[in-house]
Each structure stands twice: as C-alpha cells, then as structure tokens.
Structure 1
Amino acid sequence: MASFGWKRKVGEKVSKSAVQQFEAEAQKAEDDGPSQEEDVDWLHAIKRRREILLEGCAAKSKRLKDEGAQLAEQGRHWEAIKKWDEAIHLTPDNPVLYEMKSQVLTILQEVFPAVKAAEMAVKFRPLWWEGWQTLGRAQLNLGEVDLAVKSFQVAIHICPSERTLWQEDLAWACRLQKQHSATEEKIRQEEETKRQILNAPELEQEYDFESDEVLAACEAVAERQTRYEELKRTAVVVDAEGNIKNVVTGERGSEDTATPSKEKFVKARGL
C-alpha cells in the first residue's frame, strides 16, 4: 500500500526551489528522530487518569451511600433517596444502592419505583439472594403475588439456609396467592349467580298460575337471590396454617338466611 504523500494538482506549477526546501525539511525531521512528546505513553497516561477518576467516584459514592443509610435510619427517607441517586450517578452499576433505595421506596408506598429499583439490583448482581428478597417484597406491595413467589423461590435457591425466606416471605406470599385464587373464584361465582338471577330460566317459561310450578319457580329464584346476597357479604381469608375460609360479614336474622319456605308465596289467582 502506497504511503501518504504530498500531491499537487494537475497543471499546477511548483518552483524547483520550493520542492527542494520541502524535501530538505522532511529529511531533517526524519534524522532528528521522534520528539520527546512522542516518547510519552499517552495510552497509559489516559488509562491511569481514568483509574484515578473512578477511584474518586467510588469513594464519593460510598460516602453518599453511608449518608443515605443514616438518613433512612432517622426516618428521613426522601433525603436518603436523594443521596443514593447522587451515588448511583457516580457508580451506576452498584446493586447495593438500588436495593437500599427499593426498601425505602417500599416504605413510602412508591410501589412501582420500588420494583424497578429492585430489578436493577438483581440485574447487576443476579446471585444476590437479598436482592431477590427485596424484589419479592416490592412485588407483593405492588400486588404481583405470582411474581413475588417466583422471586422468593430464586432467593431460596441461591441461599436455602436462610430461614426467613422459607418461614416468612415465601409462606406469606403463598397464603396471599391462595387467597387471591379463592377471591377470584368467589367473584366468578357471584357474577354467575347474578347472571342467573337476571336471566332466570324459570321466568322464560309459561306457567299455569294456579299450579305448583309457579311456587317451584319462585323458590328457585329466591334461592339464587339469597345465594347472591351471601356471596356479596362473604370475605375470603387464609389462616396462619394456610387454610382458606369464607367468612360472612354482617348479621342477618335466621329467617332471612333460611331457605325460603312455601308459606312465603301464594298462588296467583286468575281473573
């Protein structure tokens, strides 16, 4: 490959003395050899300067982290978050900063930012069980029970000897998961019962108003109405052992809760 050289335009005349002077200066530069500046290892100097800057950022970030922790212990949570944000700006790949920030955001009920901060923590340190624990707790606070169960399971897989993960976090998340499923089933039954009341098949038939079929149809509709009212007053709870119970809130008289009797209805008389 030809080396770069000076070229003149076509048709341009250059004096012979100018060419000779240019060649003499070029030869003198080659004879003098590399200058003192060229002897300097600029790559090493730049690398060392970068290392010094990083060391300074790390030290300042640690100081801000410690200051934020002290503020959090004093209940000055927003001030602590501000300190940690400054530290994150200096060391954006520090998972501890994100994990501490997630804890405080969870306390402040900033549920979505808490989850995002915890996700950053486990992103930068995937094998850190405390980061997964904090993520699971933030997800529980957000209402993402299924995701929280998975996060706690990851934490247990990383550190199976940590008893709090088994006895507190995962156990509580599983109880909430059962309660959530039972509540969804209860809502489904409630909606289905309501639909059957509004579109009762017994009301679509034609009856002889002096026959017993009218009473049977009225009893069926009344039973659905009673069932619907009970479902609306029912709350799904899970006890400490994980057993699901349906608790009826409010009080009603025994006459209202009993199955409607035939005495409550009278046959319609034809005119």
Structure 2
Amino acid sequence: MASFGWKRKAGEKVSKSVVQQFEAQDDAGGHNEDVNWLHAIKRRKEVLLEDCAEKSKRLKEEGSQLAEQGRHWEAIKKWDEAIQLTPENPLLYEMKSQVLTVLQEVFPAVQAAEMAVKLRPVWWEGWQTLGRAQLNLGEVDLALRSFQVAIHLCPSERTLWQEDLEWARRLQKQELATKEKTRQEEETKSQILKAPELEQDYDFESDEVLAACVAVAERQNRYEELKRTAVVMDSEGNIKNIVTEDGGSEDTAAPSKEQFVKARRL
C-alpha cells in the first residue's frame, strides 16, 4: 500500500507510534470490500429526488391556493420555485400559463403553455391552455390548430367544441373580414391618389371633366365611408359592417372569461 505524502514530508516530527497507528486504521477501514459505494450514492440521489418531489408538490398546492385568492404573482413565484425542483412537471407550466393569461402577460403565457405540451404532447388540457394563450396573443390560426389537437386527443370534451373552437373560428372569420375591409380601404385610397380620369386631357368646357370629377368625388366618399366602418360580429357569429358616428372603431363585446386555476391530475 502506498503511504500518504504527509508521512514522508512530516519526517521526524511525527512519532513512529502515531504513524503505525494511522496505517493500522487505514488497513482496517480503507479497503472494505463489503461497502458498495455506487449503491450508496444512488440511494442518496433517490432520497434527494424524493425530497424535491415532495417540496415541489407542496409549493404547487400553495400556488394554487394563492391563485384562487387572486394573489397571482405570489402564485407564480411558488410555481417557479417548484419548477426549479421538478423542471419536468408539465402541470406547473400549464397552471402558470393560466395565471399569466389572466394577468395579460400574453407572451410568457404562450411560452409556459408551449413547455407544458412539449413535456406531455398527449395532454389535451395542455393544448387547450396553449390555444387560449395564443388567442390572447392574437394568433388565431395557431390557436385553432391547438384546439384541433386537443379535440383529437379528447373528442368527448364539449367545451373544446362549443367554447374554444367555436370562438376561435368566429375570431378568424372576423379577422378575415377586417383584412378585406383594410384592403378595400387601401385600394380606394390608391385610386384617389392616382385617379385615371385626371390623367387624360379634357376640354374644360366639356361634360367629360364633370364626369371625371364626379368619379373622383365618389371614390373619396367611399374612402371616408370605409374609414368610418367597423367590422363587428353579432351573437350568432355573423359579420357586419357598421358605420360609426365618430369614425372610430366600435369595441366588440369580449367573451366572458372565467378566472380559474384548477389543479389537474396527470
């Protein structure tokens, strides 16, 4: 057995009896073949993981209680602590996304929901939460896809059909109508600035000049009307163009949003 370096360096300052006693203890306990160090280390890791899981579960429950009391930022702080302990738990990200959506933190809400479905791709509630967060961000097409995935995973869930998917389709319909209205407005404006009737040479005493001016005036009126028009959707999902009094856009009634955070089982 090779001796430790301190014995050679110590020299005469260490008594011979002390050296012999140390070597005897080293021989007796240093090479115990019965000790399985790998098993001991593995067991220690298992104990630490169990402790992290229990603490994470406690933090998750505390966060749920805080969220139900309306203390949303405190709830998020608890869940962030739990995520540090169990970063592979999709439930923590999904609940965090719900609360961030309530707080109108739209982009972080989408990020949290995306992490939830990444960790558990076959969890329909995770896709539902992602779709709602995407709607809040204004990504209607992405939200439609998320709701469709959720329905594919759980076709018997009526809220996905009657609430989430139906509302997303209405918003998509309204968005398309708004884009078409904007296109018409830009086209009419372009025709006013580049009126083809005014590019010709007219006899100013002829009726052609009058007809050209009338055509330009009609386009101007059409443009002003489009500017005063707002695209709205009625309770049955029908799109209507309504001319407002002040030229601004009318606010459409937002769907009722129930603020909730539910502890879901995986």
Q: Give the TM-score, by structure 1 length.
A: 0.78
Residue type of the alignment partner of 2:203: D
Q: Any stretches of 5+ residues in structure 1 without a counterpart?
A: 1-31, 253-271
Partner residue of 2:83?
A: 88
Q: Any stretches of 5+ residues in structure 2 without a counterpart?
A: 1-26, 248-266
Higher relative contact order (CA 8 A, sep 6+): 2
Is the aligned partner of 1:202 residue 2:205?
no
Is the aligned partner of 1:46 residue 2:63?
no
> Which of 214, 223, 239 is residue 219 of structure 1 equivalent to?
214
Counterparts of 2:30 and 2:56 in 1: how far apart (Å)? Answer: 41
Q: Which runs of 4+ in 1 moved over 4 A?
A: none
Shift of 1:36: 4.9
- 1:76-105 CA distance string (max 9 Å, x none): 100000000000000000000000000000
- 1:225-263 CA distance string (max 9 Å, x none): 1110111011112223322211111179xxxxxxxxxxx
Is the aligned partner of 1:189 residue 2:184?
yes
Give the match's secondary structure for 1:246. strand
Partner residue of 1:133?
A: 128
Moved more, 237-246 or 202-211: 237-246
2:228, 2:246 within 8 Å by CA — same for their partners in 1? no
- 1:55-77 CA distance string (max 9 Å, x none): 00000000000000000011110
Partner residue of 1:65?
A: 60
Give the match's secondary structure for 1:250. coil
Partner residue of 2:167?
A: 172
Choose 1 or 2 for highest CA Rg: 1
Shift of 1:108: 0.7
Q: Number of paired residues?
A: 221
**What is the root-mean-square deviation of aligned Cα atoms in Å?**
1.8
Is the aligned partner of 1:231 residue 2:230?
no
Counterparts of 2:234 and 2:68 in 1: how far apart (Å)? Answer: 33
